[in-house]
Structure 1
Amino acid sequence: MAYQADLAELEARVDQLQREVEGIEVENSIYDSYLERHAESMEDHNGQTARQRKLRMRNLPQTISIEQKLEVANHELEEMGKEGETEKAKSEKLIDTLRAFSEHADLRIAELKKDAYEFKRDIVVGAENARTGKTMAEKVVRYMEDRLRARDAQIEKLRLKNTTLRNQIAKAEAQLRQKEEMGDVLHYIDFHQLQIENKQYLQRIEERNAELLRLKMTTGRTFQSLNSNKKRLADVMDERERTSRELRNQNDTLDKLRIENDTVSGEIVSEKRSRKRMSQAQADTGAAPQILDYINQKKMFYELQEQLRNWERKMEIMRMATKSAKQQVRRTRAATAASSNPGYMNMSR
């Protein structure tokens, strides 16, 4: 039991000594830092000999008082506070820089998404030919030229803005130099006034950016509506061309049928005249026609009647087709006029 009590006492003593050693190490690190900061003021003079330096070191006190320790601790605390403020300022500056880069990256990503959407809308979908399914080269070239002109305008705008900012910076620096030369110190009120003006300028910049974004969105919707109307107009023109071709074909067919109808009518009239002459000749001769001739003539008569009915049906079909084609042409013209002039439908109504 006594051995265990001694062992526990030794362990407690070892723990206490370790804590004291750690405290001394912390204290020594503070002294080292203090000495490094004041090394220039505490270093030996060049004219001293080695013996003088030894005597000086021997005469130095081996311990320091509580007041001296407190002074060293306060000085190190102040230095650490200054270092903390410096590191905090550096961190805030780094955070502002990273935030600016992040905002710039977000704006760039938004612009790229908008450009990709406009390219898909105007080129991939809008520039596709409805009949061939291929992208029209002239629209692609026109789109690229418009984008290049927009980029040039933006570059010129940024260049002018950069020039304006440089002039403002030069003006501010000249005013600052003038104040320094005149001995005028920037007071807190002046600094506060500059902060207020800076906030006002930032607010104006945000309002202008919001207005610019709104105008860009409005322009995008306008271009989208314009492309949609152009596509509908192209579809109507294609439909009109197709209807015109069908109408020309039907007119050609109708002309052919009329010619054939005239030919058949002439043949019918000629056949009637021939029959009349044959009947007259038979009446003059008083001879009865042969049975076989009568049967052949009757057969020919029925065939001619059947052909006549067929041609009449064809004429009726062609008249109906012509009427339908004319109605289609009128509808196409009305749709074309409505697409080119939006107020046409209201006037017609």
Structure 2
Amino acid sequence: MEDAHSVDTDATGEDPLHDLTDDQLYHLVEETIRANEVLAAETNMFEKFLNRVEPRDTGTGSLASTPGLGIRDEKGHNRKRSKSKSHTLDRSMKLNAEQKCDIAQREIEELREDIERMKEESEKVLDTYKAIMEEADMRLSEMKKESYEFERDIVKGSVNHRTNKVIAEKCMRYFEDKLRARDTLIEKLRLKNSTLKVQKKKLMLQLKQKEEMGEVLHEVDFNQLKIENQQYLEKIDERNQDLLRLKLMAGNTLQVLNSYKKKLHTLTMEAERLESEISSRQELQTRIQNETQLVEVERAKAEQINKRLRKQLANFKVPDVMDYVAEKASLYDIQKKVKSWERKVDIAEMALRTHRKTWNQMQLTGHMNAATNWSALAMEV
């Protein structure tokens, strides 16, 4: 970055960073730091790759011929170049994406091998520790058992009740029994060891016989097997790559299938909704058609009435004004006569009521007189 800026300043005569704002300079510094971190990681990986590959494949001149490294002198230090040549050499000696991927793939394989090797070593150490723990648990259980038996048989079982002291004969007998049991266990283990030695001798004899008969694999056979194993490993890697590619294709196909399933589900839901809406619209259409027929019938009836009224309106003649005035005057006279007759009827009704009242009174007095006459006649008789 400094060389590039120095070249720009030498070419133009002024520093372009003076035209940038603080935010732009901050973002430029952040981007430069990120780029430097990426380059540092790539350089670290490339150095590991060179340190691993150089003793086997490249030799002493690999650092100078490897793309992406600077030219070194005899002491291993970078020689200074001119600015124009360094810029072109940096462009031409950078690793491309394929080489970076190859180096990263090899580093990943080496890391996997290291992990597997460390896993095997850790499993061995773990098995050793497990065996030690099992042996310690067995020894602890035996010690607990022996301590319990010693306390049961000697500390509590062989105490004289009179003197409250341990009987020496029982204690000696106990230790003799334990030593005898230990001797028998040692003899069993010795016999087992001898049988294992015999089996080992038999296996060694069988191995020698196979070597004499030529059935044992030699170094050339091992090298051939290593070559075949490498070829098979390459084929397995190719098949694994094909499998990964097919898995990726299957994953993409599954994603596309899921998207199409979702679309199909949404389309089926939309189709069901549209079918229900179509059925409701059809019902509405039939109802509208029935209503339309009723309206047509009513319209026909109204049209007939309208025609009749239009015909009557066409035949209608307006009377003269004098006839209207005369009819109006006769109407006023008739209304006056009706009012006068109504007054006369009211007067006649009032007279009728007075006459009925007097008639009722006369009938009442006549009945009273008749009753008095009948009572007088009855008294005389």
TM-score higher than 0.5: no
Larger radius of gyration: 2
> TM-score by structure 2 length?
0.41
Structure having greater relative contact order (Cα 8 Å, sep ≥ 6): 1
